[in-house]
Amino acid sequence: MTDQIPECPAATCLTAAACNVLNASEPATKVRFSESYAADWAGGNITAIGDYQPPGRPSRPERPELRPPRDMPRRRFHSVRGRVSFIHAIAHIELNAIDLAWDMVARFAGEGLPRDFFDDWTGVAADEARHFQLLAGYLKRNGAAYGDLPAHDGLWEAASITCDDILARLALVPMVLEARGLDTTPAAIRKFGEAGDQDAAEILTAIAEEEIPHVAAGVRWFEHVCAARGMEPISTYHRFVRERFKGKLKAPFAADARRSAGFDPAYYEPLSALSDPEPSH
């Protein structure tokens, strides 16, 4: 990561701002632009939405090397190296999350959604930028940096296969992937705590709390768009997840956190790996 962060260019509209973030390759630049543009939107310095189209893939730094998910090392908590590797992987997810939030803003700007939609996703982008910074700070305190280790190349795939329909995007990204984070983060927090790494445990605790409103925004806008199209939300979610998500949803679910996000079990329980019918003989 370079120490030279360019000044954030003024943007005439929110979709231009989103594209500037997506087209920035250095993580520190994505973070600074995200904070700046989210504040511009919240403070009324950017008021127009515009119609700039996002790139097919966001720009990324030369490092980390991206590898297929199956090549990722197992992460162990008993060594600093293992914990750094885990936090590096989460930092990679947060960097993707910054781009996913801005892609949501720009790609679906033509849907005629109310300003609340843009408030929500610019707010999510600012949160994800802060999450990345918290994790980058941890890596630095432990003698590492984002880019030092290989990272998972599958994360943008959910965006690529849902770029044609906002309902598919909301179903797969906030309502599958981010919701999955609500399920898995408590165990990671516990393992960091058991390993005596309070620094990581506290960062992940702060992040986990802020992810609940992201899932809530996903559910809210999914239901909003379904209502606008006269579609029943739960069966529509089931259809999109079955058609486009590889694999089943993994139980157990963090039902309380999901419920706090307004995410009813009727959405996800029927898609659970545990809800498979018994094989017939």
Contact 205, 189 (CB under 8 A): yes
Q: Which of 30, 88, 107, 214 binds Fe ion (CB under 5 A)?
A: 214
CA distance 103 to 161: 13
**Min separation Cβ 48 and Fe ion, Å:** 26
Closest by Cα among 53, 54, 134, 55 to 93: 134
> In the complex with Fe ion, which residue's Cβ is closer, 126 or 225?
126
Q: How far is the CB of 134 from Fe ion (least distance, A)?
A: 9
Helices 233-244 and 198-229 meet at what angle, rounded to 10? Answer: 120
**Contact (CB, 8 A) for 171 and 107:** no
- Cα 119 to chain centroid distance, Å, stands at 16
Neighbours of 6 (CB within 10 A): 12
**Which one, 24 or 97, has the nearer CB to Fe ion?**
97
- The C-alpha angle 118, 135, 91, rounded to 5 degrees, equals 70
Out of 83, 131, 169, 258, which residue is the one contacting Fe ion (CB under 5 A)? 131
User: How many Å apart are CA 89 and CA 74, to the nearest integer?
Assistant: 11
Residue from 26, 103, 120, 128 in contact with Fe ion (CB under 5 A): 128
CB of 42 to Fe ion, least distance (A): 18
The answer to whether residues 174 and 215 touch, using CB atoms and an 8 Å cutoff, is yes
Q: Work out whether 169 is an interface residue with Fe ion (CB under 5 A).
A: no
By CB under 5 A, residue 60 contacts Fe ion: no
- Which among 12-20, 56-64, 88-96, 220-228 is the span making contact with Fe ion, rule CB under 5 A? 88-96
Tell the smallest beta-carbon distance from residue 210 to Fe ion (Å): 7
Please report how close the Cβ of residue 102 comes to Fe ion at its closest, in angstroms: 13
Which region among 79-87, 149-157, 175-183, 197-205 touches Fe ion (by CB under 5 A)? 175-183
From CA 271, how far away is CA 255, in angstroms rounded? Answer: 14
Give the amino acid at 243: E
In sequence order, the 6+-apart residues with CB closer than 8 A to the CB of 20 are 8, 9, 11, 33, 37
Residue at token pair 């990272």: 151
Q: Least distance to Fe ion from the beta carbon of 78, Å? A: 26
- Residue closer to Fe ion, measured from CB, 85 or 96: 96
Nearest distance from residue 122's CB to Fe ion, in Å? 13
Per CB under 5 A, the segment of 45-53, 70-78, 87-95, 225-233 that binds Fe ion is: 87-95
Stretch that binds Fe ion, among 9-17, 124-132, 138-146, 150-158 (CB under 5 A): 124-132
**Beta carbons of 248 and 237 less than 8 angstroms apart:** no
Output 16 or 27, the one with its CB closest to Fe ion: 27
Residues that bind Fe ion (CB under 5 A): 94, 97, 128, 131, 178, 211, 214
